[in-house]
Structure 1
Amino acid sequence: MDLPLRDHVAVVAGATRGCGRAIAVELGALGATVFAAGRSTRERRSALDRPETIEGTAERVSSAGGRGIPVRCDFLRQEDITALRDEVAARTGGHLDVLVDDVWGGDPLIEWDGPFWEQDLERAVHVWRNGLETHLRTVHTLLPLLVSRAGGLLVEVTDGVADGNSGSLVYDQVKCGVRRLASGLAEQLPAHAATSVAVTPGFLRSEAMLDHFGVAENGWRDAIRTDPHFVLSETPRYLGRGVTALAADPDRSRWNGQVVTSHALADCYDLTDVDGSRPDWPRWMREVVATGTDPSEIDVSSYR
């Protein structure tokens, strides 16, 4: 079996669920050793109080063909991130090939209605800390390992590709900040033969989103009755496969500084989602969502 990442070490920050878990597992499928870092363990759940755990992610990594190592880490606690760095260094001889920065956990705190100045400021600050301070602390602490030898890859996971208006000022600020973090580091990392990329999924069919709609993965289409645009949703593994292909690409530096969609990665590396389709959420956004077109009038197959 060809395992191009057999000798690679990866840290996935925010590996408990969603894109972080999927990226970790797909890296494992190509043979990588993956440190699955996050707050939720079998002994203690995070404030999100969800059932997914870092141990569960690590076991999936190992089952896929890699080596999964769970490390509990609250990325707002510098001592936790420092301990993570030290454990990675001790176990690997001091190097790191791939750093995936997917910390978030802010969804329950977002206020979507009303003007910003009438919203709860402390909740907004908490969102900012969860979604941006965590990323700053993570890269500051772990990049010294990544640049210790040539070829490192930093992947910042965001939402969207450009400035826009999602309906929440603080959500947009955080996600734009993550993109700017990736692009800023793209100016510095090439001097150390490393690459910095921001990636974004489309309409993500994460564990939390499925729960939001009250459906399971095997019945996800039932949620289309609630949100017709969910017909173009994608599993987290779609982005996971794209990021893994990027990590295994010897010419990955060509992506440096870009904000890349899951569809763009799938198109470039000839990948599909788990159902064999290739959802093109960016095109759906341009041609259906932005124009107010009724999804029921669209040939969905032409967008998958």
Structure 2
Amino acid sequence: MNQPQQPSQQPADRPLAGRIALVAGATRGAGRAMAVELGRGGATVYVTGRTTREHVSEVGRPTETIEQTAELIDAAGGHGIAVPTDHLQPEQVRALTERIDREQGRLDILVNDIWGGDHLLGETFNVKLWDVGLETGLRMLRLGVETHLVTSHFALPLLIRNPGGLVVEVTDGTAEYNGANYRDHMYYDLAKNAPLRMAFGLSRELREYGATAVCVTPGFLRSEQMLDTFGVREENWRDAIAKEEHFGISETPLLLGRGVAALAADPERARWNGRSLASYDLGREYGVRDADGSLPDPWRYFAEVVMGDKPGSVDDYR
């Protein structure tokens, strides 16, 4: 099997110099953090999403745009390029990958972080399949599954042109956790299990080209939307623990961003091919930590303490 090849003469603080990345779904949250940290490593990062300074997607969060993400990449030392893209529109995705090919001639890293379906959940957890609106449920699957397939269809022929490519599928939940626990919503469960299976299947399809495919998940993510849900800011996030005790195990998007950037810079990353990796796993492996220096292990916390009734507290898993 071909081994990943690194661009030559990379400075230690810019291990991704010369790399071309596409982060599909980089408007906010983990997608934005991964894009910025790839840029901090020196990569040129194309960032996509539906919310721009001129247009707001159905998610309805106008203050977070792909242009802002590109500017944050630039400020971190990379090169950010914002391309408005609806990944349910094949011709838009085709145009995106043709642009990357025209401008760069290669693609080294594909991060499939497209989602945008949280607003469809509402209060519908623990509701039976037949009580969820069919149109709503199918829209959720289109946003969380079809978008990933469309993007890979057009992006992978460019990625496999050179050995050493990396595909990162992004989901919610590890293979172990999702395999043992129903996510209390049929459509959400399917949408968040599909990227795990996609990474496994792509690990087989891409192996002959010297490429690696993995699936990653954050833990209990303190995204912009989650902070708003609890009525706090990052500066006072612990105030929300009074409303939700498990919020104490939460993490910022930075932890996953740092972990994925370290994975992308690892010349031996092929050892992870087909694996499911949490932000905790990446942090432990590569020595990266969250902004406050912590390394939360939420999936083990939920499995052992919340679901398994093992004595313990949040502090035991940070």
Asked if Structure 1 and Structure 2 have the same fold, meaning a TM-score greater than 0.5 normalized by the shorter chain, the answer is yes
Q: C-alpha distance in 1, partners of 2:290/2:131?
A: 41
Corresponding residue for residue 172 of structure 2: 159
Equivalences for residues 174-189 of structure 1 within 5 A: 174-189=191-206
Corresponding residue for residue 302 of structure 1: 316
Equivalences for residues 133-148 of structure 1 within 5 A: 133-148=146-161
Corresponding residue for residue 122 of structure 1: 135
SS at match of 2:169: strand
Corresponding residue for residue 214 of structure 2: 197
SS at match of 1:10: strand
| 1:76 maps to 2:88 | yes
Instruction: Provide closer, same or farther for how the CA distance between residues 282 and 114 of structure 1 changes in structure 2, counting only shifts above 3 A.
Output: closer
SS at match of 2:216: strand
| 1:212 maps to 2:226 | no
Segments of 5+ residues of structure 2 without an aligned counterpart are 1-10
Corresponding residue for residue 39 of structure 2: 28
Segments of 5+ residues of structure 1 without an aligned counterpart are none
* Candidates 257, 263, 268, aligned match of 1:246: 263
Q: C-alpha distance in 1, partners of 2:201/2:238?
A: 39
Give yes or no for contact 2:26–2:35 (8 Å, CA) kept in 1.
yes
Q: C-alpha distance in 1, partners of 2:142/2:297?
A: 31
After TM superposition, the score normalised by the length of structure 2 is 0.92
Q: Offset of 1:226 from its aligned partner?
A: 1.1
After TM superposition, the score normalised by the length of structure 1 is 0.96
Corresponding residue for residue 86 of structure 1: 98
Corresponding residue for residue 300 of structure 2: 283
Deviates more, 1:104-113 or 1:189-198: 104-113
Q: C-alpha distance in 2, partners of 1:79/1:263?
A: 37
- Runs of 4+ in structure 1 over 2 Å off: 291-294
Q: C-alpha distance in 2, partners of 1:86/1:286?
A: 44
RMSD: 1.2
Q: C-alpha distance in 2, partners of 1:73/1:243?
A: 23
Corresponding residue for residue 66 of structure 1: 78
Q: C-alpha distance in 2, partners of 1:275/1:57?
A: 22
Q: Offset of 1:113 from its aligned partner?
A: 3.8
| 1:108 maps to 2:122 | no
Amino acid at match of 1:253: A
* Candidates 141, 163, 166, aligned match of 1:150: 163
SS at match of 1:196: strand
